[in-house]
Chain A
């Protein structure tokens, strides 16, 4: 009676290879556990109400030349500016190849009249000044970040200071002449 029952129950190395039942059961259990983990992990992804606000529409019709407006998109500020003719001229005539983050103005706008960028400094995340007429605009007529002195030009490209890249241009499309959808 003092039999080592366990020796017979646990298959030897040879039998294991043919032990379909054991492998099938363990595999099914493991797959089940893994697959059931996915909804749990996915529950932390943005919820439907968050995703619903991932795109917003904005009407540019209310803006006048030289006027800027800051709107909130995905929890971040977005600078929308109706640029003056001078600002557009300066932005386009710049030798963009020599800039710290080379990018032509034409690549950064759809309609050159409207500059639409995410108002978060690419250095460490402060909000640059320049949207309001009372704020300093830096040495290049665009935006100036007070935290560590990054200067952006009229195309919101980084010109001087610690920021590594130009202000981000979010994905946006024109739904009509004056209506845009961001995101």
Chain B
């Protein structure tokens, strides 16, 4: 049949018959995978997150070749990477700032989901996998920050691992088990290194499932209406091109920080070697943990603070059922739209609060912010879905909406 094909094409066919990789890719993200034609730029953030995962793994593996996970050598090994290893400074700054940009991208990705109702049926498991990825990222980032063994590394580890002592009855034993000793020390550093190397590959697995779960129903879109086949276009070349452009814009921001403000998102105290006998004046986690830190410190009771902090993420699992609205996209939900923006502002305020001392105005705002956060999900979501009168939905994606909502 293919007597006219050159040897290259025939070799290709031979391989594809046995392991259809190219055909698989083409059907998943290529010219054979249909996607709604009206996706806006907020749909770029998934591929950006995938890109950052690859960047973090690549830079991480190379850093791991020069890093020493021992309390007496860790800090020095990082400085050696910065000064002596060829392009070591680049690897380190890309990795440290890469974590921040990974979270920026993922947070926007999550808020996109909240706005457009991407968590609603039939995408609940897709949403769950996303939350699992977020949790894995947070664990990975937390342990990664300990590795340079600076003051913030050590004391951040101490504070956060100490939280588990709030668990009744077995709390202290659990903390000792986590530490591998009676305080954060070398056993802790070693196991954090092992797990920090492991978890990103678990994230890769979760991402595979996440994309698989996405490809069953296909992508949501800004209208929230399921896209009809005629309203879809092949992922390649439309979204490959759009993702490439989005990647370029993203890289401009990422590289600007890596090359000109590489320490802006970090804390100067982490350039001081860890000293178990001297606590820094203000222990602050990295910015992406600040809202959770604010929630934690808003309650005087240690156990309740810990429970609320974890609950703030775990509650995301049940959003598909908390939200009672039949309408997916906030585009057509005037009340929910306002609530969304308030929630976003709430999260930003909590972020700011997390960096302040828990007293005075920041403490008040933390409490209000924490209350509002849970109120939004537990009370407002169910109630608003029920009582809200949505705007009229268009019949399809292509049909221009009769009264296009004034944005």
Q: How many A-B residue pairs have CB under 8 A?
A: 50
- A87 CA to B31 CA in the complex, in Å? 78
Give every chain B residue within 8 A of A40 (Cβ-Cβ). 58-59, 62, 87, 91
In the complex, the chain A residue whose C-beta lies closest to that of B238 is A9
Contact digits for A69-94, partner B, Cβ 8 Å, 1 yes 0 no: 00000000000000000000000000
- A44 CA to B88 CA in the complex, in Å? 10
Q: Are A39 and B244 in contact (CB under 8 A)?
A: no
Q: Are A1 and B234 in contact (CB under 8 A)?
A: no
Chain B CB within 8 A of A34 CB: no
Contact digits for A23-67, partner B, Cβ 8 Å, 1 yes 0 no: 001000100000000011011110111100000000000000000
In the complex, the chain B residue whose C-beta lies closest to that of A52 is B84
Give every chain B residue within 8 A of A44 (Cβ-Cβ). 62, 65
Dominant SS among interface residues on chain B: helix
Closest chain A CB from B211 CB (angstroms)? 22
Contact digits for A1-24, partner B, Cβ 8 Å, 1 yes 0 no: 110011001100000000000000
Give every chain A residue within 8 A of B86 (Cβ-Cβ). 39, 42-43, 45, 47-48
| Contact residues on B (Cβ < 8 Å of other chain), bracket | 20 to 34
Q: Are A6 and B234 in contact (CB under 8 A)?
A: yes
A43 contacts which of B31, B62, B80, B237 (Cβ < 8 Å)? B62
- A42 CA to B66 CA in the complex, in Å? 13
Give every chain B residue within 8 A of A10 (Cβ-Cβ). 31, 237
Closest chain A CB from B219 CB (angstroms)? 17
Count chain A residues whose beta carbon lies closer than 8 angstroms to a beta carbon of B: 18
Contact digits for B306-317, partner A, Cβ 8 Å, 1 yes 0 no: 000000000000
* Contacting residues of chain B (71-104) with chain A, CB-CB under 8 angstroms: 80, 83-88, 90-91
- A6 CA to B240 CA in the complex, in Å? 13
Chain A CB within 8 A of B279 CB: no
Q: Max chain B CB contacts within 10 Å: which of A25, A43, A48?
A: A43
- A6 CA to B88 CA in the complex, in Å? 44
* Contacting residues of chain B (247-276) with chain A, CB-CB under 8 angstroms: none
In the complex, the chain B residue whose C-beta lies closest to that of A26 is B244
Q: Are B65 and A1 in contact (CB under 8 A)?
A: no
- A147 CA to B390 CA in the complex, in Å? 86
B84 contacts which of A6, A29, A39, A49 (Cβ < 8 Å)? A49
Give every chain B residue within 8 A of A1 (Cβ-Cβ). 230, 398
Q: Given A6-B233, A6-B234, A39-B90, does the pair A48, B31 have CB atoms closer than 8 Å?
A: no
Give every chain B residue within 8 A of A9 (Cβ-Cβ). 237-238
Give every chain A residue within 8 A of B237 (Cβ-Cβ). 6, 9-10
Closest chain A CB from B278 CB (angstroms)? 29
Contact digits for B124-158, partner A, Cβ 8 Å, 1 yes 0 no: 00000000000000000000000000000000000
Closest chain B CB from A33 CB (angstroms)? 11
- A29 CA to B85 CA in the complex, in Å? 27
Give every chain A residue within 8 A of B244 (Cβ-Cβ). 25, 29
Residues of A near any B CB (own CB < 8 A): 1-2, 5-6, 9-10, 25, 29, 39-40, 42-45, 47-50
Residues of B near any A CB (own CB < 8 A): 31, 58-59, 62, 65-66, 80, 83-88, 90-91, 230, 233-234, 237-238, 244, 398
Q: A48-B86, A50-B84 are in contact. List 19 more A-B contacts (CB 8 A).
A: A6-B31, A6-B233, A6-B234, A6-B237, A29-B244, A39-B86, A39-B90, A39-B91, A40-B58, A43-B66, A43-B85, A43-B91, A44-B65, A47-B66, A47-B84, A47-B86, A47-B88, A48-B85, A49-B84
